[in-house]
Amino acid sequence: MIQFINMLLIGIGAGSIYALMAIAMVLVWRSTRVINFAQAGMALLSTYIGFELVQKTGNFWIALPLAMILGALFSALVEILLIRTLIKHSTSGPVAGIVPIIATLGLLGFIRASIGFIWGNQDIQIQPPLSKVGFKVGEETIALSPMNLLVLLTVVGMVVVLGFIFQKTNLGLSLRASAYSPEIAQLAGIRVGAIRTIGWAIAGAAGAAAGLLQTVNGTGAVSPDSLEFSLLLTFGFIAAVIGGLESLPGAVLGAVVLGLVLAVVQIYISGTLVFMVAFALLLLVLLVRPQGFIGSKAGRRA
Amino acid sequence: MSTNTPLLHAERVSVSFGGLRALHDVYLQLNENEVVGVIGPNGAGKTTLFNAICGLVTPDSGTFSFEGKQRSWPRTDELADLGIARTLQGVGLFPDLTVLENVMIGAQKFAKTGLISASFGRNTKDEADLADRSMAALERVYAGALAHRRANTLSYPDTKRVAIARALVSEPKVLMLDEPAGGLGPQDIEWMNGLIRNLAVHMSVLIVEHHMDVVMSVCDRLYVLNFGEVISSGSAGVVRRDPAVIAAYLGTGA
């Protein structure tokens, strides 16, 4: 029984970090129709900036929001300086439409190399702000520590805030309209360019939170070629795609399902199968339900 | 503004896509409270002309004046502030949003809260204001009862009405309708023409239409395009009897 509960907790805990990454990818996809493979690099950069901020301020609780704000600004700059131009110039020719996506792969490599150049290739270490020892229920220690709880609450908080913005505010209406049809949105006087930048900025903030939280929730160590960040990108991407790539609830659902499935595999079968199962799940969903859990068959959703 | 000054005036408009000439030296004038139709066979360049005015296509040459002032061709997101609203051929309602939300999208120019403060949720007043304006626009096309339906549950004629409400809510001086009668039955067409005449009391209306008969009764003046050029213009009676128009529609060549 305790093993089962722990499996659920581990699955949801892992899933919640993938969810932040998946949310970032969905926001970027909806606003510009670009799969941002540089999301992991941007999260990594934000994590390094978070590391610097922790060093300077000595306080994780100041560093986290500041790193998220800086991550948002950086992401907005990438959209304004790079993606916007690339989209404008890739409307025709054999690589039309995929140029910005290829560019994000280039940007991923560039950011990682730059981090190595600035901070060196050795691990840096960020101290966790909270205990990572699981709570005790009776005699048993469960797989839920104060640190895990912080991650969960952050994710839930972000999902609630984003859900409110998208569903209940005029900004959300503009974001949804621009995602569905930039043409109609423009005709209505919505400045679609600005809306796209906002989409990227929110994604940058979500990615920064994912990077920092994953790091302090894990070993606390991070390096420019960190395997953890490659996994974060891969699992975030898989979660976004199986969630339908268009919907924020879909991204969260996809991430939690992925987290749970991987936890089952890890605990009841074998840790060595995790990758195989993750990618098999991606392929299976694409084969059986290509629109994802919450995607609509008609294609683009508002 | 003197009554002689046209509200919207485009002259010597030429557009080409690659080597293909879509519009050549086209002109168009729209006066206050006038209903003007742009008609012509398929591929004549009607929609390209609309797109040029809406900033969706950049003309190679030509001048554009609005309210008597010559200015650069408007950017698409400037139109609403300028006072020009447009419906699209494909209607383009957002299927997952309610009718009211769809219309609210057209009211963005009245949103006073900046994007940044709006993202902190400080726009409840805006919300109510936009919703009121949208409700009023729906009433103008007699679709108030549809406000809370989801757009993908509407009948086709109803979607056309809602699309017009979404254009009306920005309180335009010029309403551009792309094939307003397209896909409608005779009764709905009659109703639509009546609506357009009513709207023209408060604004000017520019209509693109493929079928000549549909717009004859509703338009004060018509421009006939063929192969990207204006081949005839004037009142319905004049245009109808013009041999060039008859030839274009019968496809015999002038």
Residue A239 has what pLDDT? 93
CA dist., res. B65 & res. B203, Å (int): 17
**Which chain A residue has its CA at the smallest distance from B121's CA?**
A169
Chain A interface, mutation test: which of B53, B79, B94, most A Cβ atoms within 10 Å?
A: B94
Q: Which domains does chain B have, with CATH numbers?
A: 1-83+172-254 (3.40.50.300), 95-170 (no CATH)
Q: Tell me, what's the ipTM? A: 0.71
CB of A198 within 8 Å of a chain B CB? The answer is yes
Secondary structure, 3-state, B87-137: CCCCCCCCCCCEHHHHHHHCCHHHCCCCHHHHCCCCCHHHHHHHHHHHHHH
Q: How confident is the model at residue A79 (pLDDT cuts 50, 70, 90)?
A: very high
**Which chain B residue has its CA at the smallest distance from A191's CA?**
B77
- The helix/strand/coil state of A142 is coil
Question: Nearest Cβ partner of B86 from A177, A180, A187?
Answer: A187
Question: Nearest Cβ partner of B80 from A176, A188, A198?
Answer: A188
Q: How many CB atoms lie within 10 A of CB B100?
A: 21
Identify residues of B whose CB sits under 8 angstroms from chain A CBs: 54-56, 76-81, 85-86, 88, 92, 94-97, 101, 104-109, 111, 113, 115, 118-119, 121, 123, 126-127, 130, 166, 170
Residue A295 has what pLDDT? 61
**Contact B105/A188, CB-based, under 8 Å?**
yes
Residues 6+ apart with CB under 8 A from A238: A18, A254, A258, A278, A279, A281, A282
Contacts of A183 in chain B (CB under 8 A): 56, 76, 88, 92
CB of A82 within 8 Å of a chain B CB? The answer is no
Least confident of A169-173, A298-302, B99-103: A298-302
Mean pLDDT along residues B154-163: 90
**Which residue shows structure tokens 């054999």?**
A94
- Give me the residue spans of the domains in chain A: 2-121+143-288
CA dist., res. A135 & res. B22, Å (int): 71
The alpha-carbon gap from A158 to the nearest alpha carbon of chain B, in Å, equals: 13
Question: Nearest Cβ partner of B130 from A168, A170, A190?
Answer: A170
CB of A12 within 8 Å of a chain B CB? The answer is no
CA dist., res. A46 & res. A72, Å (int): 9
**Which chain B residue has its CA at the smallest distance from A299's CA?**
B95
Residue A30 has what pLDDT? 86
CB of A167 within 8 Å of a chain B CB? The answer is no
Mean pLDDT along residues B141-165: 90
High-pLDDT (> 90) share of chain A, %: 42
Q: Is the dihedral of CA B107, B110, B115, B118 positive or negative?
A: negative
Contact call for residues A112 and A41 (beta carbons, < 8 A):
yes
pLDDT, tens digit, for every residue of A4-33? 888 899 899 889 999 999 999 999 998 888
Mean pLDDT along residues A174-181: 83
Contact call for residues A50 and A63 (beta carbons, < 8 A):
yes
Question: Nearest Cβ partner of B77 from A168, A192, A301?
Answer: A192
Is pLDDT of B56 > 50? yes
Contacts of B101 in chain A (CB under 8 A): 173
CATH of A2-121+143-288, one of 1.10.1670, 3.30.450, 1.10.3470, 2.30.30: 1.10.3470
Total-model pTM: 0.80
**Which chain A residue has its CA at the smallest distance from B122's CA?**
A169
Catalogue the E-assigned strands of chain B. Answer: 8-17, 20-30, 35-39, 61-66, 69-71, 84-86, 174-178, 204-209, 221-226, 229-234
The alpha-carbon gap from A290 to the nearest alpha carbon of chain B, in Å, equals: 20
Question: If you average pLDDT over every residue of chain B, what do you get?
Answer: 85
pLDDT, tens digit, for every residue of B231-250? 989 988 888 888 888 888 77
| CB < 8 Å & 24+ apart, contacts of A103-110 | A104/A34, A104/A35, A104/A36, A104/A37, A104/A38, A104/A39, A105/A37, A105/A38, A107/A37, A107/A38, A107/A41, A107/A78, A107/A82, A108/A37, A108/A38, A108/A40, A108/A41, A109/A41, A110/A41
Contacts of A187 in chain B (CB under 8 A): 54, 76, 79-80, 85-86, 88
**Which chain B residue has its CA at the smallest distance from A162's CA?**
B119
Residue B113 has what pLDDT? 58
Is pLDDT of A173 > 60? yes
Mean pLDDT along residues A110-118: 94
The alpha-carbon gap from B77 to the nearest alpha carbon of chain A, in Å, equals: 4
**Contact B77/A298, CB-based, under 8 Å?**
no
pLDDT, tens digit, for every residue of B173-219? 999 998 888 888 888 888 888 999 999 999 999 999 887 777 888 89
Contacts of A185 in chain B (CB under 8 A): 105
CB of A300 within 8 Å of a chain B CB? The answer is no
High-pLDDT (> 70) share of chain A, %: 97
Mean pLDDT along residues A184-205: 88
CA dist., res. A26 & res. A222, Å (int): 25
Residue A225 has what pLDDT? 86
Q: How confident is the model at residue B118 (pLDDT cuts 50, 70, 90)?
A: low
Contacts of B130 in chain A (CB under 8 A): 170
Is pLDDT of B1 > 70? no
Residue B3 has what pLDDT? 57
Is pLDDT of A175 > 90? no
Mean pLDDT along residues A275-292: 86
Contact call for residues A79 and A200 (beta carbons, < 8 A):
yes
**Contact B123/A171, CB-based, under 8 Å?**
yes
pLDDT, tens digit, for every residue of A41-52? 999 999 999 999
**Contact A170/B119, CB-based, under 8 Å?**
no
Residue A115 has what pLDDT? 94
More confident residue, B150 or B211: B150
pLDDT, tens digit, for every residue of B25-42? 999 999 999 999 999 888
